[in-house]
Amino acid sequence: MTRPLTVMLVAAEASGDALGAGLARALKARLGDGVRFVGVGGGRMAAEGVDSPFDIADLSILGLFEAIPAYPRIMRRVADTAALADREQPDVAVLIDSWGFTLRVANALRRRRPDLPLVKYVGPQVWATRPGRAKTLAASVDHLLSIHSFDAPWFEREGLATTFVGNPALAKDFSKADPARLREAIGAAPGEPILLVLPGSRPAEIKLVMPVFEEAVKRLKAERPDLHVVVPVAGTVADTVKARVAGWPFRAHVIEDEALKDDAFVAGTVALACSGTVTTELALAGTPMVVAYRIGAATYAILKLIFKSPWVTMFNIAAKAFVAPEFLQADCTAEKLEKAVAERLDDPALRARQIAAQNAALELMGKGGPDPSEKAADAVLRIVADRSR
């Protein structure tokens, strides 16, 4: 009996978990029982057959200085991941996003299995900060699967073969989402406003961002009794978020079901969102948003020195404009968030203009292109075939 192709997928955060799940589905569609998966991931990858040896919430570290006390734990998980590769003997390893963790995994795998093809899925944003990482990555892996069309020159000049697959967030399909189903589930009448609150997928984001969101939402709800508050939550922080929301002085609906999350994204009147992949998904769903973020003060001070872009939201970067307002660090206050969200709740014309601008930015990012997961699967299979020749 022919041994199935064994693919190792390693993701350390919720966004990477979604990428890994999409890649696994695409590979299964091509190979059926001819592929098996091992690796590290979250709930979405588990549903596709990746049995993770530990909870990736252990790896959700935010900030330069915040990572220092977590270093011993991270290195234990690197060792666990390398040991898994020793046991399972994969034919290829795909290391997804999460720069610090996956780089260390790459180096550990390279030492143990010099012949193992190593593929990085999502490169560091060297065009925005720390361009030296391109050289570091080129020395650590064999191939990069890029989600940005402008990535390749940065890495190819360092000798790293790069395949542009596209941004999987742009392939998110909301055609089956049913806003009426969401409204029925939360008891919202047609026309009543819905505020989506998305405080992040990392424990540190919940700690730093959620309190500000809570205060802003309390103020908005006090002024608008008919406002329905919906909190779509990532599995990595679901228990923490549910515990916090349970203490709010009004009812808020925490959504964990993936289909109902899609319904919520389409049904939302306005979203208050932590910066990240979710902002692209909200734009695809047609929801105007206010974006906010906080990190540790020392980390922010350093990043201000090295981060080149005036924007952090991907569609703002593409548009070279504040299509969605961003409130970062000291600007991330309950007063400012309340004001920006209230303006959008109360002004349908402003919402319409922002939605149109978001859509135009998505076009610049490559919306409507081939499915990135399909292109990533093709690239992985090509890399394996090339190495076996």
Taking only the tens place, the pLDDT of each residue in 289-305 is 999 998 877 666 666 66
**Are 66 and 196 part of one and the same domain?**
no
**Are 143 and 285 part of one and the same domain?**
no
- What distance in Å separates the CA atoms of residue 341 and residue 292, rounded to the nearest whole number? 11
| pLDDT value for 62 | 52
By CB atoms closer than 10 A (0-12, 13-18, 19+), residue 339 is middle
190-224 confidence digits (pLDDT tens): 999 999 999 998 888 899 999 999 999 999 999 99
Phi-psi sector, 32: left (phi>0), alpha (psi -120 to 50), beta: left
**Are 21 and 157 part of one and the same domain?**
yes
**Are 382 and 307 part of one and the same domain?**
no
**Are 361 and 374 part of one and the same domain?**
no
For residue 172, tell me if it sits in a domain. no
Rounded mean pLDDT, 259-286 = 96
| pLDDT value for 388 | 76
The residue range of the domain holding 194 is: 179-365
pTM to 2 decimals?
A: 0.72
Q: How many domains does the chain have?
A: 2
20-52 confidence digits (pLDDT tens): 999 999 999 999 999 999 999 999 999 999 999
Q: Who has greater pLDDT, 103 or 295? A: 103
**Are 89 and 226 part of one and the same domain?**
no
CATH of the domain at 213: 3.40.50.2000
